Amino acid sequence: MRVDPIFIDNRGHRTMLKWHRARRKASDPEFTPTRILEAMRLGASVEVDLVLHAEHGFAILHDRTLDHGTTGTGLVADTTADALRQLFLRANDGTPISDRVMLLEDLCDLLKANPAHADALLQLDCKEDGSRLSPAVIESFVVAVSPVASSMILSGGDSAAVAALAERTPGLKTGYDPTYPGILDALTSASDFATFIEAALRLAPDATMIYLDHELVLTADAVGVDLIGAVHSDGRRVDAWTIRSVSPTTLNHVQRLLDLRVDQITTDDPEGLAAALAGGQG
């Protein structure tokens, strides 16, 4: 019997499996409405990315350029809403698929028309910093998200940008990702890791979820610092990202994350990971 990849129970603790870029399995294209709605119907955790376009709104895309993930070319920031909606998404091998690029308001309209399971959570991962959030951008976000905010969490690496968008959107939960490029080279000692997580928690006092590179969590663990435990002690939850494929190495990593009682694991292959763990390969 097929089991939907929503969570893993390990030693009395439940860890959600987050569908990274709305993928249920590794072969899925990114950001298709079918998978997003499936996740929300099942009560899963699912993530999409937000990138600004030319008309003060957000596109559901990861990259700031169109060339890789869509049939378009150039910068998302230079492309109008209508032009974006005419573009098709690409499969993992680069082949165009039948699904078109969505804007944030398109996604929110879908969710309004298809009510979510009470446990479902859609993460909006904002790829922009606060300098890009004009009053028009903020207003566009608020209008789109407010009707469905209770099923969403807004995250990003700029805690001020997340706060600016969320403070006018009642019911919207927030998260914070303090992982910056080069962090694994910058943090080496137990003291470094302890200082890092303390600073992250101070910088985003309203964030209910802290998003951490899973390699960062495991590196800290190896020097005796439990980053997940520190976040739990502050009353927050931890998402460890991103398990991109299922292999003996990644299964060992996941098992250690489960033993550390991580609350959520971001993965490009929730179905494959859940099957491997259920089969006792972890």
What integer pLDDT is reported at residue 3 of this predicted model? 84
Mean of pLDDT values over 222-247: 98
Tell whether 157 and 172 lie within a shared domain: yes
* Residue finishing a domain among 176, 211, 232: 176
- Residue 172 in domain: yes
How is residue 99 annotated by DSSP? E
- pTM attached to this predicted model: 0.97
**Does position 65 have pLDDT exceeding 80, yes or no?**
yes
Alpha-carbon distances, residue 185 vs 14, 180, 218 (angstroms): 31, 11, 14
What integer pLDDT is reported at residue 72 of this predicted model? 98
* Residue finishing a domain among 122, 155, 176: 176
How many structural domains is the chain composed of?
Answer: 2
What integer pLDDT is reported at residue 48 of this predicted model? 98
Phi and psi, residue 69, nearest 5°: -95, -5
Tell whether 254 and 116 lie within a shared domain: no
Tell whether 204 and 93 lie within a shared domain: no
Tell whether 112 and 249 lie within a shared domain: no
Q: Give the angle subtended at the CA of 32 by the CAs of 34 and 104, to the nearest 5°.
A: 110
Tell whether 117 and 236 lie within a shared domain: no
Tokens of 163: 């706060």
Mean of pLDDT values over 82-97: 98
Tell whether 245 and 154 lie within a shared domain: no
Mean of pLDDT values over 213-220: 98
What integer pLDDT is reported at residue 1 of this predicted model? 53
pLDDT bin (cut points 50, 70, 90) of residue 279 is confident
Q: Give the angle subtended at the CA of 106 by the CAs of 81 and 41, to the nearest 5°.
A: 155
Tell whether 21 and 156 lie within a shared domain: yes
Tell whether 20 and 111 lie within a shared domain: yes
pLDDT digits (tens, 9 = 90+) for 98-131: 999 999 999 999 999 999 999 999 999 999 999 9
Tell whether 30 and 168 lie within a shared domain: yes
What integer pLDDT is reported at residue 281 of this predicted model? 44
Domain holding 250, by residue range, is 179-282
What rounded mean pLDDT belongs to the chain? 97
- Residue 58 in domain: yes
In this structure, is the dihedral angle defined by the CA atoms of residues 6, 108, 143 and 211, taken in order, positive or negative? positive
pLDDT digits (tens, 9 = 90+) for 134-163: 999 999 999 999 999 999 999 999 999 999
How is residue 31 annotated by DSSP? S
Query: Do the Cβ atoms of 23 and 270 come closer than 8 Å?
Result: yes
Query: Do the Cβ atoms of 171 and 149 come closer than 8 Å?
Result: yes
Please report, rounded to a whole number, the percentage of residues in the chain having pLDDT higher than 90. Answer: 98
- Residue 78 in domain: yes
CA atoms within 13 A on the CB side of 4: 13
- Residue 10 in domain: no
Tell whether 50 and 99 lie within a shared domain: yes
As a whole number of angstroms, the distance between CA 282 and CA 103 comes to 38
pLDDT digits (tens, 9 = 90+) for 40-58: 999 999 999 999 999 999 9
Q: What is the CATH number of the domain that holds 270?
A: 3.20.20.190
Tell whether 183 and 271 lie within a shared domain: yes
CA atoms within 13 A on the CB side of 30: 24
What integer pLDDT is reported at residue 5 of this predicted model? 98
Tell whether 122 and 208 lie within a shared domain: no
* Residue finishing a domain among 140, 156, 176: 176
Beta bridge partners of 188: none
Please report, rounded to a whole number, the percentage of residues in the chain having pLDDT higher than 70. Answer: 98
